[in-house]
Structure 1
């Protein structure tokens, strides 16, 4: 027991001695820290190490802190330089300090070395505002991008804006602008085809500058992750059919670089007879629901990214309504059956009433036949019938005149 305690005490004293030794040594901060703009939205920070010779046995790493008015980022590197993508329209401050490690444990760090990158020139209030961009995949599998913005409140009336995008080393200026309602300024831009890959670990830099005869227009830049601004297309080729007492719908995934498991779907089923609607969320590209076979239904589907992938979680637009065919035919047959049944019932009822109340004699009495005079002449010798008048003619011959 005693030897173990003695060993622990020796280790403790050794640690205290090392700590005192480090504290007694001056920690020198890195020197010649500089910031260089390499390309739109990307800077290179570089510095020179400045390690005290007494601490060369320690592992030295560098803690880097980058600050902008919009963002703050801190990370560690063992290199003497580092590249970072960052929006630069409001300038940048960078700080670096040396961190000393022994046995993977931090023991000390130097003071901060500091450098500053000034914001680009331009009058305040002249840069664009409310920049918004969406990326989407067309039927041809081209990746397209649309961006829109508002003019700066202090921008002169003759200000004209110009947009550029950078993806990796590709830099391109917009060639297809739309103008504001007054027809003067560019207010949006459309790229029908880009080199952008919609992944969760890439960055697109959007840069907008401007020109005016009356003022220097301040530029504006913003960084986007393509997967977060992706506008997902609606699902395709939706089919709807009634199968006995079930309504079944199937569809294909949206036009996209993402595979089928990367999508979640929302289905809107409308009953056009009762006016009711039902919404369901599914992960498959088909569904069957118990329904009333005599109703008429329409189905709409929209898509969003699932948790399995890095695509956008925003819902797409609804697809156009697709109607079930069989309920419509069944409704027509039912209507014809009811009409013909009603007519048959009316005819049967009419026949019964006519027989019961002899309505046919009242409505259609028998017309007597006309008297035949020739028949009377031919039957003069017949005995008179009872009740008939007999005319007897008894006329004496006149006497001769005397």
Structure 2
């Protein structure tokens, strides 16, 4: 019986040794010593969640230290790889911003030199945030200190729900004063000169906006270089060297790389090189056709070797950030060469109207003189008789009046004799 008891003890010892060897020969998951943590998800702050877990006390060994592996991804970003964090604390705060929720897992682990050597079976968790009825949020930063944001509402948005907009700057929220409305709801905001109060010595690295309602609030963070529409490049110069035309310029001012107090000047900072890409548009001045338009220039210089010396060209430059989809504003036109025309355009513009004005003046003077100096002809005696005999009483009266106004004509001698003889016969 003693032999049989010792046999059982030896069997148990052998099984324990085999199990231990199997633990260290696996892919690094020790399920026997490291148990799953108990994970809790709680809502804290403005649209943020706190992931916390209770893990059993594990004594640190000489070679390994206790750590935790947190992995999660947002519900609407399932196609993106999960985010992983190696932590030494038993909690972690996650900002949802405008995501509808998240899924993830937490594992107990042994680490060596910030690398996981063994970990437990992951404890999974899921969190569904309150519904967010805002979508398609789009913001544009222009003229360095102006911000314009717009958004849409979901079709199932309650009629009495509306959001107010605010921008966080220097740990303060700046409320919107100029809203765009549609269907009695705020769908956009325009903020002017908001970044002029930015008094931090470091360049602005991110922009945080918030939407607030009576039920809950959501926030969104984006980088300024992704939404900034740049002003035109500065100090554009045209240099002629042999047959080459060399164009040089300075980068445009930007809220990302300039301190705002100096950002609106024309000073040049060498650290800004390589942060922008440029597009150059060369138009032939006479035909108004685009001659060249390179659109991905990384340096502040471009050389043209095929511009004709006897033609005039118009050149403009614009810029954008390397990781932005928005092109900036075109610069003022810069002209290269001069047109060698026999009759310049200004001659036609000036002399043409002058000749037309002189011709109009001559014609008016001539025909006005003729109209003013030509005498008005009197009606003939036949017309007067016709008016007297066949006209109306009014016409006869007008004729009588006209006859009275005429000068009397003396009778000739023949008429006097004839009258006298006629009178004698009657006597």
Question: Normalised by the size of structure 2, how large is the TM-score?
Answer: 0.58
The 3 A distance-change label for structure 1 pair 196 and 136 is: farther
- Which of 158, 163, 174 is matched with 1:161 structurally? 163
49-58 or 283-292, which deviates more: 49-58
Match of 1:252 among 250, 253, 264: 250
RMSD: 4.2
Q: What TM-score does the superposition give when structure 1 sets the normalisation length?
A: 0.61
Q: Partner residue of 1:83?
A: 93
| Equivalent in 263, 284, 297 of residue 313 of structure 2 | 297
Change (3 A) 1:24 1:304: closer
Secondary structure in structure 2 of the residue aligned to 1:316: coil
Alignment of 1:323-362 (within 5 A): 323-324=335-336, 326-328=337-339, 330-331=340-341
Residues 234 and 158 from structure 1, CA distance in 2 versus in 1: closer, same or farther, beyond 3 angstroms?
A: farther
Q: Report the CA distance shift for 1:52/1:163 in structure 2 as closer, same or farther (over 3 A).
A: same
Which digits, 9 at most, give the CA deviation of each residue in 1:341-370, with x for residues without a partner?
xxxxxxxxxxxxxxxxxxxxxxxxxxxxxx
CA 1:136–1:205: 2 relative to 1, 3 Å: same
Q: Which residue of 2 aligns with 1:19?
A: 24
Shift in Å, 1:147:
0.8
In the alignment, does 2:297 pair up with 1:282? Answer: yes
Asked if the contact 1:127/1:219 (under 8 Å) is kept, the reply is no
Given candidates 269, 272, 285, the residue that maps to 2:285 is: 272
Deviation for aligned residue 1:301: 0.7
Q: Could you tell me how far apart the structure 2 residues matched to 1:105 and 1:335 are?
A: 76
1:171-203 deviation line (CA, Å, top 9, x unaligned): 3332221223x6x33221123214598999955
Contact 1:147 1:188 in 2 (8 A): yes
Gaps of 5+ in 2: 1-16, 258-270, 347-427
SS of equivalent to 2:57: coil
**1:302-317 correspondence runs (5 A):** 302-306=318-322, 312=324, 314-317=326-329
Structure 1 276/112 Cα, relative in aligned 2: closer, same or farther at 3 Å?
Answer: closer
SS of the counterpart of 2:229? coil
Deviation at 1:148?
0.6
Maintained 8 Å contact 2:70/2:106: yes
How many aligned residue pairs are there?
304
- Gapped regions of structure 1 (runs ≥ 5): 1-11, 337-402
> 1:257-315 CA deviation, whole Å, 9 max, x = no partner?
42430222221111123535112343333434232222121111111334xxxx63643
1:104 and 1:161 map into 2 onto residues whose CA distance is 44
Cα offset, 1:20, TM superposition: 8.3
